[in-house]
Amino acid sequence: MLLLGVDLVKDPAKLVTAYNDSAGVSAAFSKNLLSVLNAQVGADFNLDAFDHVVTWHGDAECVAMWLQSRISQVVRLSEIDLSVDFAAGERIRMSISAKFRRDGIRTELERAGFSLRHWWTDPHGQYALSLSKLV
């Protein structure tokens, strides 16, 4: 048996707002990766030189989070002898958060050899939990 929880496709404006939260949690999460690179590979990312950007991609039904360079800059990663040029406005894709529909989940489960047995959602149909059995 497979119990799978998924985030369902919903209003793109709500999704963008959720991933571009006013408290800056998502932005801090993305910028933390740059901090780790600074600490682990001797990078010199200036976190303040990047803005958090969130986009919805309707064709792929996913949210992408980016860090966008505010300025033209060169970042050095000394431990791996690498320099990366960033143009003003250039983006680094930090993460993708896919959203799903029931039919798509059923198809993917069937491709993996499962049969969808049960499908539950929250009262607003924003999230789903499915129970599938290996055929």
How many domains are there within the chain?
1
Say whether 13 sits in a helix, a strand or coil. helix
H/E run at residue 106: helix 102-111
Q: How far apart are CA 125 and CA 36, in angstroms?
A: 37
- Cα angle at 95 between 93 and 98, to 5 degrees? 125
Which pLDDT value is given to residue 91?
A: 98
Pick the closest to residue 86 from 68, 109, 112 (CA basis). Answer: 68
* Under 8 Å between Cβ of 5 and 117: no
Domain that holds residue 7: 2-134
| Regions of the chain where pLDDT drops below 50 | none
Pick the closest to residue 9 from 53, 54, 63 (CA basis). Answer: 63
What is the torsion angle, in degrees rounded to the nearest 10, for the CA atoms of residue 31, residue 37, residue 39 and residue 41? -170
